[in-house]
């Protein structure tokens, strides 16, 4: 009994099997399902209103403030080319790689699960052109997205026209 109590008292840790990727499955544009890697998901927020960006790219629809930080928000359906931008989507999935967060407007968060690597087929194996951010197709047609490419896309992260981080001038007060 003491051993069980000690095990239950330990902080929760993600159980991850070898050869799997933790993913969050979301839907946009008429129920199309996509998965983003759980390791990149900082949080999921209700879309309570965006600060609109005048003259921004079609996919980039606004900014939200997350813990005092301005985070660019893109419509996932527009990024993937399956719909036009829709600022009324109810949820924002905030992705982060430690340096450049990005919010994605989605219609629904369906589930969090472990996706076995063997269950993901490459784009060439499913006969689709796909978009630049697709890693492959999972079970039941869920499209696995490459969060590293989404986060690095200068059209979405607000750094268009800025020099790469290594060459930005240092700020001196």
Give the model confidence (pLDDT) of 97-116 as tens digits: 988 899 999 999 999 888 88
Angle ∠(37,136,118) on CA atoms, nearest 5:
85
What pLDDT is attached to residue 139? 78
Supply the DSSP symbol for 155. Answer: T
Taking the whole predicted model, whether its pTM rises above 0.85 is answered as: no
Q: Which residues pair with 37 in a beta bridge?
A: 23
Does residue 10 contact residue 26 with C-beta atoms inside 8 Å?
no
Q: Which residues contact 5 (CB under 8 A, 6 or more apart)?
A: none
Q: What is the pLDDT of residues 109-156, one digit of tens each?
A: 999 888 887 888 775 443 333 456 777 888 788 888 888 888 888 777
What pLDDT is attached to residue 96? 93
Q: What CATH architecture does domain 19-138+150-155 belong to?
A: Beta Barrel (2.40)
Domain boundaries, the chain: 19-138+150-155
């Amino acid at each position: 009994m003491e051993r069980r109590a000690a095990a239950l008292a330990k902080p929760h840790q993600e159980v991850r099997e070898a050869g799997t990727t933790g993913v969050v499955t979301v839907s946009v544009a008429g129920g199309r399902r996509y998965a983003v890697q759980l390791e990149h998901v900082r949080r999921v927020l209700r879309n309570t209103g965006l600060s609109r960006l005048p003259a921004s790219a079609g996919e980039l629809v606004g900014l939200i403030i997350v813990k005092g930080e301005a985070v660019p928000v893109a419509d996932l359906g527009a990024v993937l080319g399956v719909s036009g931008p829709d600022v009324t989507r109810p949820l924002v999935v905030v992705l982060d790689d430690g340096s450049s967060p990005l919010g994605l407007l989605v219609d629904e968060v369906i589930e969090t699960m472990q996706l076995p690597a063997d269950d993901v087929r490459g784009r060439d194996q499913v006969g689709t052109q796909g978009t630049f951010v697709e890693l492959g197709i999972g079970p039941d047609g869920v499209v696995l997205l490459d969060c590293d490419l989404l986060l690095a896309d200068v059209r979405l992260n607000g750094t268009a026209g800025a020099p790469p981080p290594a060459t930005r001038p240092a700020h001196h007060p």
